[in-house]
Amino acid sequence: MIGDYKIMGIKLLLLTLTLYLGFIFTQERTITGTVTSADDNFPLPGVMIKVKGTSTGTVTDANGKYSINVSTLRSTLVFSLIGYATKEIKVTDKKAEWNVKLEVSTQALEEVVVTGYDQQTYDREARSLSMSKAKSMPGGGLYAPSPIMNSQVANYNTEEYSTFEENVFHETKKDALTTFSIDVDRAAYSNMRRMINNGALPTKDAIRIEEMINYFDYSYEQPKGKDPVSFQTEISDSPWNKGLKLLHIGLQAKKIPTDNLPASNLVFLIDVSGSMGDYNKLPLLKQGFKLLVDQLRPKDHVAIVVYAGAAGMVLPSTSGNEKTKIKEALENLQAGGSTAGGEGIKLAYKIALNNFIKGGNNRVILATDGDFNIGTSSEADLKTLIEDKRESGVYLSVLGFGMGNYKDNKMETLADKGNGNYAYIDDLQEAQKEFVTEFGGTLFTVAKDVKLQLEFNPKYVKAYRLIGYENRRLNNEDFNDDKKDAGEMGSGHTVTAIYEIVPTGVESQYLAKVDPLKYQENKNLTNEGNSNEVLTIKLRYKLPEENTSKLIEQIVLDKHTAFDKTSDNFRLAASIAEFGLLLRQSNFKGNANYEHIIATARSAKGNDEEGYRAEFIKLVKMAQLLSSKDLARDN
């Protein structure tokens, strides 16, 4: 009998011990830390972190920080990123913060399958992180992994990009005037980022250098006078073409406090066709728009229009204080059917006009992959439709999503012709940038039809070339024509433009030799031409509700600053331009190289609270590895 009690006691003790140990080892605890690059200690965004042997995972935010829950006292975390060697760390109960350094590795790129522009990243670990996991990711759930194509999807690509020829050098004595519209679109940068993060160098027509430069904010001075926009300039050496110079022009729109911004009448125009079913399309779109809804004030209103085989309104114009109602309407959206984009646009503008707020921000926000395939769908038809609608006073913002069938050419046309802006949303962090960090600049226009015209002085400038803005060039006579459409600037927006200059007296391989004219002689310089004026810049803009432009004019004198003494603004923009020249394999890239880009970008990192500049450096490194891999394969 006593023996039975002993056996029962032992069993009870073992059961208690088992339950106790089970309790201990199933307790969750949070591990945090920062992942950096071993070669320069810069933070690494987008690093995939998995608890080994489980489906639990997260990714680092823009500053390389992460937070993940583990369910045992001893777990192994696996850190992986394209272009870096995978690293495993055994975490214990002794500490909750684990900082990790990853080593650059060209062998890591062998995990990526690249065929021309089509690419697929067969990374089962990355695919196992669904969009539902994004809510528990660092930064309040605002970062999702780069879109990864499912291995069961066919390896084909129908993305479309408009082909364009890059700007060439113009000789000042023959053509001293240059005119263009500003551009605040930034889609080319995030789209480029998506491609590189997926292990492929971008197709050159996807690279619009001005959009890459303007993705970043610059610390220009706020306008001090009555004008809502101002500009400043710097001149220094071209780092990739010895003997040439760069002219940096920085425009700054006045920053208006959110509380002082006018009331908004918004229409979300959402593509719910079958092509939007992928997780990095409609599900990501819903998450992004919810971020925007959180920024709305009671005086703001939102309607939701969807289109697939037909267009329809799923939410009438609703006050911003009914956030739950708006979010529920978004959450109930499902993808299916063909794509009647033109009909959706017409209905969205109709609803926007029915709820028009005089003196307010009236805007349609179109979210799609651009794959319109029924009704008004051609690029020319869409251009005509939007040009007609923009006269209504309703602005248009275009948000691109997805990959594989993405139609960049149509999206850019819509934004350019619709008095609006164009962004590509590749993850929730980009949605946060558009709708939270840059809320005012994205949605509230302070100056429209903004144009620039420069006149160079041949005494100092032999020839010049505008870097980028190929699809924003204007005829010189368009500058004074108030009927000619141009770009818009939102609250707090910055716009940057760079000219490369051949100084007078400098020989350049980029200038063709032409025989002297037989019947004409070069004209003598005026008094101003003989002064120390290098050029004159003129800027025209209109206030949002006016149709008559205002003029700002500024003279640039003969000053020079050594490249390493220029502002962070100058060096950052120059490094991005140099990167764009390499990605496009530009005829004017000269001695551009990845090492110089990285060094320049590091020197211009400055105050990088959001981590975008550190991320740029990481992308350049990855592109360098991909480029080296391509060269090795070609040889």
Tell me the mean pLDDT in the region 262-271: 93
pLDDT at 535 over 90: yes
Q: Which fold has domain 9-133?
A: Immunoglobulin-like (2.60.40)
Q: Is 247 helix (H, G, I), strand (E, B) or coil?
A: strand
pLDDT at 232 over 80: yes
Separation of alpha carbons 317 and 303, rounded Å: 4
Could you tell me how far CA 264 lies from the centroid of its own chain?
Answer: 24
pLDDT at 234 over 80: yes
Separation of alpha carbons 384 and 364, rounded Å: 17
* Confidence tier at 188 by pLDDT (50, 70, 90): very high
pLDDT confidence of residue 24 = 47
* Confidence tier at 12 by pLDDT (50, 70, 90): low
* Confidence tier at 484 by pLDDT (50, 70, 90): very high
CA–CA distance from 528 to each of 42, 456, 462 (Å)? 49, 11, 17
Separation of alpha carbons 341 and 281, rounded Å: 16
Separation of alpha carbons 566 and 325, rounded Å: 51
pLDDT at 599 over 90: yes
Element holding 302 (H helix, E strand): strand 301-307
pLDDT at 7 over 70: no
- Radius of gyration from C-alpha coordinates of the chain: 27
3-state helix, strand, coil in the chain (%, to 5): 30, 25, 40
pLDDT at 545 over 60: yes
Q: Is 305 helix (H, G, I), strand (E, B) or coil?
A: strand
Strands 75-81 and 84-91: antiparallel
pLDDT confidence of residue 276 = 87
Q: What is the token pair recorded at 502?
A: 């051949």
Neighbours of 613 (CB within 10 A): 22
pLDDT confidence of residue 275 = 82
Q: Which CATH class is domain 170-256+446-514+528-634?
A: mainly beta
pLDDT confidence of residue 147 = 38
Tens of pLDDT, residue by residue over 401-447, are: 888 778 888 888 877 777 778 999 988 888 888 888 887 777 899 99
Strands 84-91 and 65-70: unpaired
445 strand-pairing partners: 490
Tell me the mean pLDDT in the region 598-624: 92
Tens of pLDDT, residue by residue over 21-76, are: 454 445 678 889 999 888 777 788 778 899 888 878 888 876 788 988 887 666 89
Contact 448, 542 (CB under 8 A): yes
pLDDT at 236 over 60: yes
Separation of alpha carbons 144 and 134, rounded Å: 5
- Whole-prediction pTM: 0.82
Contact 590, 222 (CB under 8 A): no
Separation of alpha carbons 279 and 621, rounded Å: 28
Complete edge-to-edge strand list for the sheet that includes strand 311-319:
311-319, 301-307, 264-271, 361-368, 395-400, 420-424
Q: What single-letter amino acid sits at 196?
A: I
Tell me the mean pLDDT in the region 245-270: 94
Residues spanned by CATH 2.60.40.1120 within the chain? 9-133
Tens of pLDDT, residue by residue over 335-373, are: 776 555 567 888 999 999 999 999 899 999 999 887 765
Percent of the chain with pLDDT over 90: 50
DSSP 544-580: TT-SS-EEEEEEEES----GGGS-HHHHHHHHHHHHH
Separation of alpha carbons 401 and 270, rounded Å: 11
Residues spanned by CATH 2.60.40.1230 within the chain? 170-256+446-514+528-634
Tell me the mean pLDDT in the region 113-120: 36
Residues spanned by CATH 3.40.50.410 within the chain? 265-417
Q: Which residue has tokens 């050159």?
A: 204
CA–CA distance from 287 to each of 131, 411, 428 (Å)? 9, 21, 7
Tell me the mean pLDDT in the region 156-162: 80
User: If phi over 0 gives left and psi between -120 and 50 gives alpha, with beta otherwise, what is residue 33?
Assistant: left
* Confidence tier at 480 by pLDDT (50, 70, 90): very high
268 strand-pairing partners: 304, 365
Contact 487, 396 (CB under 8 A): no
Contact 252, 223 (CB under 8 A): yes
**Residue scoring higher pLDDT (125 or 168):** 168
pLDDT confidence of residue 373 = 54
pLDDT at 629 over 80: no
Separation of alpha carbons 240 and 353, rounded Å: 50
pLDDT confidence of residue 330 = 94
**Residue scoring higher pLDDT (152 or 81):** 81
pLDDT confidence of residue 73 = 63
The residues, ordered by sequence, that sit 6+ positions from 610 with a Cβ below 8 Å of its Cβ are: 62, 63, 433, 437
pLDDT confidence of residue 115 = 35
pLDDT confidence of residue 9 = 64
Q: Is 191 helix (H, G, I), strand (E, B) or coil?
A: helix
Neighbours of 437 (CB within 10 A): 15
The chain-wide mean pLDDT, for the chain, equals: 83
pLDDT at 19 over 60: no
- b/e burial code for range 372-393 (CB count within 10 A of at least 16 → b): bebbbbeeeebbebbeebbeeb
Contact 410, 372 (CB under 8 A): yes
Tell me the mean pLDDT in the region 239-268: 94
pLDDT confidence of residue 427 = 85
Contact 74, 91 (CB under 8 A): yes
**Residue scoring higher pLDDT (129 or 260):** 260
**Residue scoring higher pLDDT (458 or 559):** 458
Q: What is the CB-side half-sphere exposure of residue 145 using CA atoms within 13 A? A: 27
**Residue scoring higher pLDDT (314 or 13):** 314
- Domain formed by 265-417, architecture: 3-Layer(aba) Sandwich (3.40)
Q: What is the token pair recorded at 500?
A: 């490369």
The residues, ordered by sequence, that sit 6+ positions from 150 with a Cβ below 8 Å of its Cβ are: 127
DSSP 459-496: TTEEEEEE-S-GGGB--GGGGG-TTS--EEEETT-EEE
